[in-house]
A and B are shown apart, each in its own frame.
Chain A
Amino acid sequence: MTSFLRPRPALTSLAWPLAALALLVLFNLLFTPGFFNIELRDARLFGTPIDILNHASKVAIVAVGMTLVIATGGVDLSVGAVVAIAGAIAAMLATRTQAPFPLVVLAALAAGGVAGLCNGVLVTRLRLQPIVATLVLMVAGRGVAQLITDGLIITFEHRELSSLANTSFALLPIPAWIAIALALATGLLTRRTAAGMFLEAVGDNDRACRYAGVNDRAIKLAAYAFCGGCAGLAGLVECSYIKAADANNAGLFLELDVILAVVIGGTSLSGGRFSISGSLAGAVLIQTLTKTMYMHDVSADVAPLPKAIAVLAVCVLQSPVVKDRVSAAFSRGRP
């Protein structure tokens, strides 16, 4: 096959989620009155698309970390529980101590990072299957968060912490900026250095990597720790959003949405290939779907169905078989 028939992987992986997103936006343009009403109020944009960005950023932040873990051929099921732990720690520090805001942020991020490291050690040192290793923390983590908050919903009035997810900077909500900055930084770090190649190489064939002198364990460990840190960041955003730490519900089932966003974004679950921009697009797509369902009064008990159908459609379109057929059809069409 000639090279022009195989566009750069980053492009193809982005094409499908973006196409699905465009379709969904078109649907809303036609059938959802008021969907695009954006107004400027108190120096911030106000409207449904902004809400979508705001809510999608939580999934997007975790998805950036998850993308790297999945690139190494692993998976992290514990992110939802880590969100709860980080939120609990931040809320306790903000209410029970006089800790300055940077310390609160640092503590939440550190808690996430440590949780990620635990996962990484289980995977790399004890050689556990990632799904089993992270399941441990997924189950136990929420209990840890409950222990921290003593089973209560901790409400706080902390000025900086409560404004984190509820104020705007340069028109967009702060969480959206956090997600964009995190994705950009991670993208630069992985694609402009050899880190991305190492991640993909480890995900593709870790033994070959080791023989080639690449420290595959260190790379995996770093990926899990980074993913934990991302979950910690998302935990801050989540608790800031409702100005309370709800250990029981914070980040509940978040891991599923995140893995979905990553897969929709074209990152292969078997590892060896990843796209951060794809994961971002996936996160926005999932949130747009959710919002569309709310706006059309789809009752919550049937809402998962249209969501599942849309996700299935994107995944089918992305499958190698369908992709090859499509590109074959295109190349036949060429003069």
Chain B
Amino acid sequence: MPTRRPTRRTILAAFCLAGLSLAACEKKAEDKPAEPKAGATGTPAPKLRVGFSQIGAESDWRRANTESIKGEAAKRGVELVFADAQQKQENQIKALRSFIQQKVDVIAFSPVVETGWEPVLKEVKEAGIPVILTDRAVDVSDPNLFVTFIGADFVEEGRRAANWVVKATGGKAMVAELQGTPGSAPAIDRKKGFEEVIKAHPDIKVIKSQSGEFTRAKGKEVMETFLKSSEGASINVLYAHNDDMALGAIQAIEEAGRKPGVDIKIVSIDAVRAAFEAMVAGKLNCTVECNPLLGPQLFDAVEALAAKKPVEKRIVTKEGVFEQAQAAEAIKTRQY
């Protein structure tokens, strides 16, 4: 078979296109760059430069998180170098390396996964740049590789969800669990916290547990399978690691001819706007807040670092638990 050998022209064209597509990504990442108004604060000190590597834009939650960080940077006149990793660790590692080259003052990022950060964080440390983790933690042997971790306590969120289940069911429930992406910190910790609490309640049993990968489509597909399994009819509580999976599962429950929020009580985590809408409609019972608006706390830490002040190793975001009764009221003030 006469296959055409790639000519020099082909290769050149391929490189050009690859470059173009990269440029396109780059452009997207820097979409709406947070241009601080120079001189707005009037301080003579050189502008702080912060490199931030975001996981992606996989959910409304993440979007609110990004907006909060970009908004706060603009407000404080900090120059933000923002990079979107599109859910890929290698993109984040590349971004961190480019931050080193750009000699930013502080690097902050939300790691896609927990492991595999040691080498690049060592490079950052050698460059003398402090690292702040936001939202998700990393698993490294040397805790000095980062300065502080700002974010929700996922284990505590799992506990709160479990406490609600105990309260709402009187300590007797057959639970189906929709886990997050396997290996991600929120999936691991939210499962752990939930199990911790229900251990003391032998009549609460998790009879089905499977990953819905934090997405609506998978949440719906997996719930569909749960409901048709031999134990499906006995499920009366659904615990979803995020709101999106719960919203997908609600559709599956309706299609199976059961009433979400009534026949099957549903608790999920994040508290995004769509979850409040579902609560107002009576289809979701409870959502445990996971606050994405960490911009202010992040830049408090950044400014403290710049002023050579000590920063706490663990900064926990402020969070609440919302039930149906409060939903109609709370939805009015929801920013995300």
Contacts and interface: CB of A to CB of B under 8 A. Distances in A.
B17 A136 contact: yes
Interface in B111-143: none
Contact of A166 (B59, B182, B208, B255): B255
B42 interface: no
DSSP majority for the B interface?
helix
B228 A129 contact: no
A122 to B, nearest CB: 7
B17 A128 contact: yes
Contact of A48 (B179, B220, B228): B228
Interface in B208-253: 208-211, 213, 215-218, 220-222, 224-225, 228-230, 232, 244, 248, 251
Contacts of B86: 142
Interface string B45-68: 000000000001111100100000
A244 B230 contact: no
Interface stretch (A4-12, A276-284, A294-302, A308-316): A294-302
- The CB with the most chain B CB atoms within 10 A, among A41, A127, A300, is that of A300
Nearest to A153: B60
B167 interface: no
Interface stretch (B2-10, B72-80, B155-163, B263-271): B2-10
Contact size range, B: 35 or more
B17 A132 contact: yes
A187 interface: no
Contact size range, A: 35 or more
Contacts of A51: 221, 224-225, 228
Nearest to A242: B216
A208 to B, nearest CB: 8
B21 interface: yes
A153 B243 CA distance: 12
Interface in A1-50: 33-34, 37, 41, 46-48
20 contacts: A33-B230, A34-B228, A34-B232, A46-B256, A55-B221, A127-B10, A129-B6, A140-B25, A146-B28, A147-B28, A152-B60, A241-B220, A242-B248, A243-B251, A248-B58, A249-B58, A249-B218, A291-B225, A295-B225, A295-B229
Interface of B: 1-2, 4, 6, 9-10, 13-14, 17-18, 20-21, 24-25, 28, 56-60, 63, 86-87, 179, 182-183, 208-211, 213, 215-218, 220-222, 224-225, 228-230, 232, 244, 248, 251, 255-257, 274
